[in-house]
């Protein structure tokens, strides 16, 4: 079920990381960041410290480990001096949540809430410098990895408070960014996403069984989701690229349903008209006229 990691290797890693810690608890900022989106000027050291202390917590260590305790002290000092970069604020909120620093987490989440983008019942965090896009682009614009990661770190911090209603809007947006291979813009973004979503599932999943019924003209397919197979990917292949389909969900908990779109394109030596796409594919979710957010039945129209 799990990937084996030699404890001796982990101990050697902790020894090496501890050797990079300075007397004030901070860590040496050795090397350069490859991702320009992570560069935050004078606050780059905060990112390194937060990731390191977070790794200590994720490894199962606690305050008895000197490097963790001293590193957390350095983070708190940096926070008291002021942190303006939203990406750093998001990671700090997550790490401090792991440390049980509720008051500091609450302050950071309130600050992040002011910079959040709230539209169409979803919440997410954009990059510091958002590139301009067309008003009506032919395709859904690419979302930078830093936006996905930032939103996931905020999500992780909120999940630690065990209030599912506050996380739903962010989970919905992040899930929409998944590509048809099941990943995201970067390896880092994919790793943080699955960490956030699995903890969301743990928070919302119950021992009761969820039944997902997929209906089309050819008949119905039923998928059972329970505690034994909740991480198993189950799917059904559409026989046609267009048509009307219905998804009916019964039970309690969280079931993630994704429509995977693949397209084969034959390239010809003909230029497409300006601002027109070579092909189009759309998915429409038909909702009932109700204010209930927790709908259990809805229709899908693929054209």
Reported as a single tens digit per residue, the pLDDT across 209-232 is 788 898 888 788 899 888 788 778
* Phi, psi dihedrals of residue 90, rounded to the nearest 5°: -65, -45
- Per-residue pLDDT 10s for the chain (303 aa) are 567 888 888 889 999 999 999 998 988 877 776 666 566 666 778 888 898 999 999 888 999 999 999 999 999 999 998 898 888 999 999 999 999 999 999 999 999 989 888 887 788 888 665 555 555 454 455 677 888 888 899 999 988 876 666 677 788 888 778 777 777 777 777 888 888 888 887 777 667 778 889 888 878 889 988 878 877 888 877 777 677 888 888 887 667 777 765 554 444 444 445 555 555 666 666 666 665 555 566 666 666
| Rg of the chain in Å (alpha carbons) | 22
Q: Which of 19, 45, 50, 10 is nearest to 31 (CA)?
A: 45
Crossing angle, helix 145-159 and helix 86-98, to 10 degrees?
30
pTM over 0.75: no
Q: Which of 106, 86, 87 is nearest to 96 (CA)?
A: 106
pLDDT of residue 302: 61
d(CA 92, CA 81): 13
Secondary-structure breakdown of the chain: helix, strand, coil percentages, each rounded to the nearest 5: 40, 15, 45
pLDDT of residue 294: 56
d(CA 10, CA 16): 10
Decide: helix, strand or coil at residue 289. coil
The residue ranges of every structural domain in the chain are 207-303
d(CA 58, CA 97): 12
d(CA 1, CA 231): 11
């Amino acid at each position: 079920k799990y990937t084996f990691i030699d404890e001796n290797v982990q101990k050697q890693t902790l020894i090496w990381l501890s050797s990079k810690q300075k007397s004030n608890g901070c860590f040496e900022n050795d090397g350069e960041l490859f991702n320009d989106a992570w560069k935050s000027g004078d606050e780059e050291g905060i990112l390194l410290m937060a990731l390191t202390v977070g790794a200590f917590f994720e490894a199962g260590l606690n305050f008895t480990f000197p490097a963790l305790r001293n590193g957390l002290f350095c983070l708190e000092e940096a926070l008291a001096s002021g942190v303006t970069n939203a990406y750093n604020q998001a990671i700090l909120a997550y790490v401090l949540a792991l440390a049980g620093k509720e008051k500091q987490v609450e302050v950071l989440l309130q600050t992040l809430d002011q910079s959040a983008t709230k539209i169409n019942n979803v919440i997410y965090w954009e990059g510091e410098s958002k590139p301009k896009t067309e008003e009506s682009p032919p395709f859904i614009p690419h979302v930078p990895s830093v936006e996905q990661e930032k939103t996931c770190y905020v999500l992780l911090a909120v999940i630690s408070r065990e209030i599912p209603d506050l996380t739903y809007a962010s989970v919905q947006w992040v899930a929409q960014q998944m590509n048809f291979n099941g990943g995201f813009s970067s390896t880092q973004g994919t790793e943080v996403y699955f960490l956030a979503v699995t903890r969301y599932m743990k928070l919302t999943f119950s021992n009761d069984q969820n039944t997902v019924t997929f209906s089309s003209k050819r008949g119905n397919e039923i998928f059972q989701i329970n505690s034994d197979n909740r991480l198993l990917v189950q799917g059904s292949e559409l026989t046609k690229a267009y048509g009307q389909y219905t998804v009916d969900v019964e039970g309690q908990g969280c079931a993630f349903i994704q429509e995977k779109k693949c397209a084969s394109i034959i390239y010809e030596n003909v230029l497409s008209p300006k601002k027109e796409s070579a092909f189009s594919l759309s998915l429409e979710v038909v909702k009932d006229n109700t204010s209930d957010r927790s709908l259990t039945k809805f229709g899908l129209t693929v054209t």
